Amino acid sequence: MTLRSPLGKVLGLGSAKSGTAHWWGQRVSAIALIPLVLWFIFSLLLLPNLDYATAHAWLHWPVSGFLAILLVGVVAYHSYLGTTVVVEDYVHGEGYKLLGLLLLRFLHVLVAGAAIFAILCIAFGT
């Protein structure tokens, strides 16, 4: 026996109106981040130092640049999903909630966009 209405069953999206998409996206990005962050930490630790020339040469290398862009993209997505839940849970006024959610989305795109643009500049610069 089920308590779900026939319409609810067909739509399958629940009260959040997005089904399991958010939950699933959080898990998929978490799995993707395991190798990406481990790569990032180990690469930085294996560099002889972090002065300008060393860091720049490291990020100029195509493999580093490519993986760094993936890292920034997936971190932004994972962080956006996580912080969104925090705003939904703790910001109660509808207006403030909407404002917070909009701000979060804009900030994540802004920060990720700036980081990816910077990585591309280093990758394609001299």
What are 109's two structure tokens?
A: 């795109």
Both structure tokens of 14: 């629940």
Place of tokens 């939904």: 88
CB 79 to other proteins: min, Å: 5
Nearer to other proteins, 6 or 93 (CB): 93
> Given the rule CB under 8 A, which residues bind other proteins?
27, 30-31, 34, 37, 41, 45, 49-52, 55-56, 59, 68, 72, 75-76, 79, 82-83, 86, 111-112, 114-115, 117-119, 121-122, 125
State the amino acid at position 1 in one-letter form: M
Min. distance of Cβ 5 from other proteins in angstroms? 23
Instruction: Calculate the dihedral angle through the C-alpha atoms of 23, 27, 29, 31, rounding to the nearest 10 degrees.
Output: 180
In the complex, least distance from residue 9 CB atom to other proteins, rounded to whole angstroms: 24
Could you tell me where the beta strands, DSSP code E, fall in the chain?
A: none
